[in-house]
Chains A and B, each alone.
Chain A
Amino acid sequence: NAGVMQNPRHLVRRRGQEARLRCSPMKGHSHVYWYRQLPEEGLKFMVYLQKENIIDESGMPKERFSAEFPKEGPSILRIQQVVRGDSAAYFCASSLTNELGYTFGSGTRLTVV
């Protein structure tokens, strides 16, 4: 029973490139959440998705960031034209329903050089 799978674990991008982070939720989970953790900070909510729908994107920066959770395949967090300030750990979590606790993945550590 695999947990929440995120890949890649580490991603290095040059300024101006695109970063694509993937998240496969636990089997049977249809709720996916993305969080960002800056150095020495707690996790900050970015977006909550269900299959093919964005439910709450109140934590997403207005520009360059987008997320999707298609009918088939993993959820994708996409960051266009990355800047140094995007360097962080990005965590995905999934749940069976919105009422239950999350299961987090091990994260993708993005470094922008």
Chain B
Amino acid sequence: GNSVTQMEGPVTLSEEAFLTINCTYTATGYPSLFWYVQYPGEGLQLLLKATKADDKGSNKGFEATYRKETTSFHLEKGSVQVSDSAVYFCALRNQAGTALIFGKGTTLSVSS
């Protein structure tokens, strides 16, 4: 079946540090892949997405590349800010296109 595995957190970084959050998936075919961000007390916001192999999604300095060889979609940012502190979720769309399958989330804490 479909599943998403994310690195466990929390990830604690200093401001301007480099960020990587690993995400790997198991799925039939080549599903669309997503990163969502959740700030405290709020719903999820779409951060970026990629719909086919080798696509790179990017937004607000975050990037992720769809790697079918390694079934991965790692999230990266070159220089994090305190305001990036949040929970980050990796997700894939199921084959029927009716649902997103989420990883457990990775908490990022950035200090100044």
Interface residues of A (CB under 8 A from B): 4, 6, 33, 35, 40-45, 48, 55-56, 58-59, 91, 93, 98-99, 101-107
Contact = CB atoms under 8 A, between A and B. Distances in A.
How large, as a class, is the contact surface on chain B?
20 to 34
Nearest to A105: B43
Contacts of A56: 96, 98-99
B49 A42 contact: no
Contacts of B94: 45
B89 interface: yes
B66 interface: no
B62 to A, nearest CB: 15
A33 B96 CA distance: 14
A74 B100 CA distance: 22
A106 B42 contact: yes
B98 A48 contact: yes
Contact of A104 (B4, B44, B104, B105): B44
A104 B98 contact: no
15 contacts: A6-B43, A35-B100, A41-B104, A43-B44, A45-B99, A45-B101, A56-B99, A59-B99, A91-B43, A91-B44, A101-B49, A104-B43, A104-B45, A106-B42, A107-B42
B102 A98 contact: no
A107 B101 contact: no
Given A40-B104, A48-B99, A103-B46, 17 more contacts: A4-B43, A6-B43, A33-B99, A35-B100, A35-B102, A42-B89, A42-B103, A42-B105, A43-B44, A45-B94, A45-B99, A55-B98, A59-B99, A98-B97, A102-B46, A102-B100, A104-B44
